Amino acid sequence: MKKRTFSKVTKCRRAQRHDHEFEGSTKLAEEGDDRHNHRFAGVSGPAIKRGSSHVHEIDLTRTDFFGHFHQLKKITTGPAIKVGNGKHVHFVKGATTLADGHVHQFNFATLIDSPLT
């Protein structure tokens, strides 16, 4: 089988055309009977070159419903973390938007890019 090679320009362009699926749960917020968390899932924006790596923007319009919604607005992932076989993930940490008088913290790793290739 012939090994594929890419020029630096091609690698850069190829890297810029991918995104990542993600899913996660927020940390608990509020106290007593109102204590709860939210679940979310989505797809990141395309790669944004950052130094020798790249990041992605997470812009989710809403979490699941628990009497209210939250958003994950303009959250930027960390740089690529190599996981083998030419694949990578990104670590994400942040807080939701304010709703119903509170926010939720979260942290998660994206899923690998192009899982079927």
Query: For the segment 36-54, what is each residue's pLDDT rounded down to a tens digit?
Result: 999 999 999 999 999 999 9
Instruction: Report the distance separating Cα 12 and Cα 27, nearest Å.
Output: 36
| Residue 108 bridge partners (DSSP) | 92
56 occurs within a structural domain: yes
Residue span of the structural domain in which 55 resides: 24-109
For 105, residues 6+ apart whose C-beta sits below 8 A from its C-beta are: 26, 27, 94, 95
30 found inside a domain? yes
Supply the pLDDT for residue 61. Answer: 81
pLDDT beyond 50 at 3: no
Domain count, the chain: 1
Q: Does the residue 12 lie in any domain?
A: no
Rounded Cα distance between 82 and 90, Å, is 9
CA terminus-to-terminus distance, the chain: 16
* pTM (2 d.p.): 0.79
Note whether 19 and 45 are within 8 A (CB).
yes
